[in-house]
Amino acid sequence: MHFNILNKNDEIVMSLVHYFITEENYTPIVVRGVKDEIWLENLDGPYRIIRINSNYIHNDEQYKFDLFKTKKVVEQIKKKTLSLSMNTLNIFLNLGDNVHLDEEEKNISSMKFSDINEILKDKNIVKVFPNIKNKLIKDKEGIDLIVNVTNDINAKTVEDNKVFTKIFEPKKIIVTPILILLCVLVFISMYIWGNGSEDTFTLLMFGANFRVLVQEGEVWRLITSTFLHIGIIHLLVNMYSLYIIGRQLESLLGKFKFLIVYLGSGLLGSLLSVVVHSTISAGASGAIFGLLGSLLYFGYHYRLYLGNVLRTQVIPVIIVNLLIGFMLPGIDNFAHIGGLVGGYLLTMALGVPGKSKKSDQINGSIVFILLVAFLCYMLFGYLR
């Protein structure tokens, strides 16, 4: 005797969940207070949110209320993920005959299906997800379906967890302390072999940024200036910032990528600074702003996990410090802006594990190179 432990809707739900998770890289979202609904997200997908609803809805009033609830949940997800818009697909499996799908909220598309074949024949869903024709499980039922779906989703989860663990597990921090030590040693050396960190001649001797000298060929000043600091307060503020931000980002990016972002951001910050200003400048703040730009790009791609950090810490720190830089004299805000942009672009070029596309990395590399080339033209051509 044959018993099917799943009803028809359950089988459709399991097939759809299996497809979206294993083939389209969606992940489940826990939404409180819902029953007989599954919410999936992929912030890089054609639909950022997919909701599969097997609740019975028997009239238009219930359908309108359901849309209202969906909109409220989507608004919460938008806030959490710092998204301006969130294209959502509502899949209904148990709609009454009197329900009309003409009523839709902005950015929320609704579709109804009663069996697997309807899904495979639907032109709209096949256009968005062309693989669904070949990859959607349609020849399994009951225990066979449960076993296939469970095994495949578990395998995908294990694979994703490996990437996630590799990124977020604690690591030994080496590069950040070395950078801090170098800055401190250079600062002390300026008092041993020079006249102190606030003396103009000593600053130039140790490699401060200065347009005339850079134009004469001393381009190394674009990097050496990021290890110099003018006064003990300048040093302490920057080293504390580097200690806090650097340790976090080095753990996320890895030592090699972190060093590239730090030095590349410092270079771009120094370039923009020397193009805009003809005065002496020094400090690690351009490179540190580059770390903030990097954290901004990285956090955006993992904003389901780091969305609160971006919203409450990273973005406010960037805005406040840029505002202070524009209001107070003596702060090289253009170095900050150059570093911020450099860190963002370099992280795009290097890629975020498990998230970045090759096209994004190519675009990040090209834009960074073009920006450096333009600033070099301004410095060595237009301004000479």
CA atoms of 244 and 263, how far apart (whole Å): 17
Judge whether 285 counts as a catalytic residue. yes
Q: Which two tokens stand for residue 19?
A: 């497809």
β-partners of residue 51 are: 39, 90
**Catalytic annotation, pick one of 18, 229, 301, 336:** 336
Which residues, 6+ apart, have CB-to-CB distance to 160 below 8 Å? 27, 354
Query: 3-class SS at 112?
Result: strand
**Catalytic annotation, pick one of 270, 285, 294, 356:** 285
Cα angle: 121, vertex 74, 35; to 5 degrees: 75
Identify the residue whose tokens are 């099917």. Answer: 4
CA atoms of 39 and 36, how far apart (whole Å): 10
Computed from CA positions of residues 271, 277, 283, 289, in that sequence, does the dihedral angle turn out positive or negative? negative
Judge whether 336 counts as a catalytic residue. yes
Q: Which two tokens stand for residue 169?
A: 């597990």
CA atoms of 278 and 196, how far apart (whole Å): 22
Cα angle: 43, vertex 106, 46; to 5 degrees: 30
Strands 49-53 and 37-41: antiparallel
Identify the residue whose tokens are 């819902």. Answer: 34
Active site residues: 285, 336
